[in-house]
Amino acid sequence: MATFMLALLACLAVLCTTVLGDRIVNITILESATDQGAVCLDGSPPAYYLDRGFDTGISNWIIFLQGGGWCDSIPDCQGRATMDIGSSKHMTKQTHFAGILHNTPQENPVLELVDFYNWNRVWVNYCDGSSFTGDVEQVDPENNLFFRGARIFKAVLEDLRSKGMQYAKNAILSGTSAGGLATILNCDKFKSLLPNDAIVKCVANAGFFINVKTISGTSNIQTTYHRVVTLHGSAKNLPPSCTSTMEPSLCFFPQHVVPYVETPLFIINSAYDAWQINNTLVPANLDPRHVWEHCKAQISSCTFSQRIVIQVFGVEFLRAFEGLNPCYTRGYFITSCHTHEQIVVTNYWFSATSPNILNKAIAEAVGDWYFDRVGFHQHIDPYPSARDC
């Protein structure tokens, strides 16, 4: 018995950490998608990483959409076309799965029945620059760019259906940042591609980009979204119930579109999201002398007046949030941490140091919500201002 315990401890200390830390998954390049014109910005086929489910998770699927901002102009998209976020020619052949995509219960907890570690887990590469919403038939020979994000979403999911997802019993669409926004925008579409009796839900991480003005009072993010939607022909792929009631590019904002999403949705975000503070509130061109640099990196380095500006942003964020229609199937995990973190990072998703609201980590809150284990799913950090976590 003692020898067994020692062996187990040794394993936990050395062997297991290496094994647990490294789940390496190979890329699948979906060559056949080019027949449907479902291609990255440069015309190369889309790609994903799939790690098969096992044991009780064999009929369950979690699809994670990668993030990485958007491109809203030809030169901007051309720049991406030479990188992994615009071309499968530049994607890595293998990747590491962690956080919500991890394949062991130690990092991806089994709480009562099952959680996600033994599900089929898929990371979908982002290479369209429109949060998987674009669809423009013509290709301008001047630049050879393809705007086909919505086609990629459809082609990848059709392929996964043929690999077993058509018989799914449980399914989650998730994603971070631009992928978190893509999760919201494509949530009902995802549901429609799964069996009627499957339990289908969506988990959007760091994708609640609010429509707020910059420190100079200009509407930069609204302009950016308008340009993205126009360039990529996204309007027809946004939820029609939203676009029929307002200017389509406004439906790119979660605060406007979420009330029209019918599938249960869980939103994980910081009220002081670091990307939004860096880009929506204080874009670099409005800070030519870099007086915001230290504050952007660390809240404790902000001046008193900068802290007030950030505090007001948080108030705007919560106001946008509270303006949503009440909905009992919706779950929230809204932190006060000044971050823009990903649930595919174990330290954020579930660890001793991950954000906690009333003693619950994100993994526990999402699991409880997905499996209806408890009745309450709307967690808002009671800490009253932005902080470094």
Ligand X SMILES: *[C@@H]1O[C@H](CO)[C@@H](O)[C@H](O)[C@H]1NC(C)=O
Cβ at position 370, least distance to ligand X in Å:
27
Cβ at position 125, least distance to ligand X in Å:
16
Q: Is there a catalytic annotation at residue 241?
A: no
Nearer to ligand X (CB atom), residue 109 or residue 254: 254
**Dist CA 44 CA 249 (whole Å):** 27
Cβ at position 146, least distance to ligand X in Å:
27
CA distance from start to end of the chain: 41
Residue 133, CA distances (Å) to 148, 165, 199 in order = 7, 22, 24
Nearer to ligand X (CB atom), residue 311 or residue 378: 311
In this structure, is the dihedral angle defined by the CA atoms of residues 255, 256, 259 and 261, taken in order, positive or negative? negative
Cβ at position 40, least distance to ligand X in Å:
22
- Enumerate binding residues for ligand X (CB under 6 A): 26, 274-275, 278, 293, 296-297, 340
Nearer to ligand X (CB atom), residue 26 or residue 143: 26
Q: Which of 102, 232, 256, 340 is catalytic?
A: 340
Cβ at position 290, least distance to ligand X in Å:
9
Q: Is there a catalytic annotation at residue 115?
A: no
Nearer to ligand X (CB atom), residue 260 or residue 275: 275
Q: Which of 128, 273, 368, 381 is catalytic?
A: 273
Nearer to ligand X (CB atom), residue 278 or residue 347: 278
Q: Is there a catalytic annotation at residue 177?
A: yes
- Residue 287: both structure tokens together: 């800070």
Q: Which of 174, 177, 270, 354 is catalytic?
A: 177
Active site residues: 177, 273, 340
